[in-house]
Amino acid sequence: MQNILKMSAADLGRSIAAAQLDPIEITQAYLDAAQNHSEIRRIYTMLTKDRALSEASAASLRAKSGQRLSPLDGVPISWKDLFDTAGNKTEAGSALLLGRLPQMDARCLKNATALGLVCLGKTHMSELAFSGLGLNPVTETPPCVNDPEAVPGGSSSGAAASVSFGLAAGAIGSDTGGSVRIPAAWNDLVGLKTTSGKISLQGVIPLCEKFDTVGPLGKTVEDCALLFSALCGEPSINLKEPSLKGTRLAILRAEVINEVRDAPAKAFDQSVKALKKAGAHIDEITLECVSEAIGLTGVLFNSEAYGTWKEVIEKNPDVMFDKILARFRGGADIQASDYVAAWKSLENLRQTYQLATQGYDAILCPTSPITPPNMARLMTDEDYYVTENLLSLRNTRVGNLLDLCAITLPTGVPSCGLMMLAGPYQEKRLLRLAMASERALD
């Protein structure tokens, strides 16, 4: 069992293809590990045991008859609790949605199921996905793999914990401002933020649909690439022989470098040296458009989030975590004219950014300027909560604002990630670049 739980999703798939492991054996190993784990209630909202074993049985028959549907056919993964799962509660970490029971799977879950991936269960998350910390006293706060007294990052908090604690081979989360990349970075995983519109949001509980994206978390870049293809319902990406030689990268010297604390700063500098050693040419660039885009965050995110949830929230606000409630209500007084003007400004800033970076294969910065904050202090120190929550998502939010795809890679320094940003719909190229970078960092 221990070997199964430590294997990458891709290696599990290869073992199934080679008839060395059976999907039923793999799925049962994960179910047993989860059911016997001391933190199971903090990580999973539920295990979909019957579905998982049924899907594993079908995958087993396909493997034996040489009819596997994809490289991950028969591999069990977890799903964040905002993806509709037919016949299973989907509540998005909020008492506002208590007992919500969808009748159909989300489109991306259907895609993954059609390619043979096994649905292992649903994972805890920040309430309505509106926090980068992963702190949720309404339901559960999952553990951080590197610090039992710290938060795990959010909002895909349980998704990251399920993989980092060996309770899923991979996980699917969502990313509106960093909600895949922050928990991935803080739990030493790979996390991919996809381009807005690349993966269907049908059947995904929204936060801000103009910024919401679906993305995988995994142990390796290869795992995330295979999960990405499954979510899209597309053939696997060719990742053979990736190299950094001749690539042009740029360090973003803008607001994303300010207030970076010692550990993330050291990890970033070490990572840059490793990429240079592997053959990458790396410049430093300063882009005012990035800081200007970050300055539009409150108008764009808060107003859309509150507009989406106002009616539901105001019917029963007392059941919400007060800090999340306050963040939603931060959009209540934003005028429509300001919202429209902000979007026009952002569209211009996106064009400016694309022109300024078109000569580079990817842009680099620390995934988060901070490491996981202390859970108890977040609950008692208001200033600490506000500061850490805003800083946690500051760098990752750039990818959502500027309509980019992005990936975070472990650096070897606990809870410190390296983020690589590429243009919209450049996931395949970014994943190849990330795989070469992963080898260099390793």
Residues with a catalytic annotation lie at: 80, 155, 179
Q: How far apart are CA 84 and CA 205, in angstroms?
A: 8
Q: What is the pLDDT of residue 141?
A: 98
Q: How far apart are CA 155 and CA 138, in angstroms?
A: 14
Report, as an integer, the average pLDDT of 238-249.
Answer: 95
The answer to whether residues 10 and 113 belong to one domain is: yes
243 occurs within a structural domain: no
**Is the pLDDT score of 2 beyond 80?**
no
Q: How far apart are CA 149 and CA 168, in angstroms?
A: 22
313 occurs within a structural domain: no
217 alpha carbon, distance to own chain's centre = 6
Q: How far apart are CA 151 and CA 118, in angstroms?
A: 28
The answer to whether residues 396 and 423 belong to one domain is: yes
423 occurs within a structural domain: yes
The answer to whether residues 257 and 173 belong to one domain is: no
Closest CA to 360 of 282, 253, 291: 282
Report, as an integer, the average pLDDT of 109-133.
Answer: 98
**Is the pLDDT score of 406 beyond 60?**
yes
Range of the domain at 362: 248-296+322-441
241 occurs within a structural domain: no
Task: Return the percentage of the chain with pLDDT > 70, whole number.
Answer: 100
Report, as an integer, the average pLDDT of 229-248.
Answer: 95
Task: Return the percentage of the chain with pLDDT > 90, whole number.
Answer: 97
pLDDT digits (tens, 9 = 90+) for 315-357: 999 999 999 999 999 999 999 999 999 999 999 999 999 999 9
87 occurs within a structural domain: yes
Closest CA to 438 of 281, 223, 259, 294: 223
**Is the pLDDT score of 288 beyond 80?**
yes
The answer to whether residues 9 and 123 belong to one domain is: yes
Tell me: cis bond preceding 65? Omega within 30 of 0 counts. no
Q: What is the CATH number of the domain that holds 348?
A: 3.90.1300.10
Q: What is the pLDDT of residue 254?
A: 79
> Domain tally for the chain?
2
The answer to whether residues 185 and 271 belong to one domain is: no
The answer to whether residues 218 and 353 belong to one domain is: no
The answer to whether residues 153 and 259 belong to one domain is: no
242 occurs within a structural domain: no
Report, as an integer, the average pLDDT of 94-102.
Answer: 98
The answer to whether residues 421 and 334 belong to one domain is: yes
The answer to whether residues 205 and 327 belong to one domain is: no
309 occurs within a structural domain: no
The answer to whether residues 281 and 360 belong to one domain is: yes
134 alpha carbon, distance to own chain's centre = 12
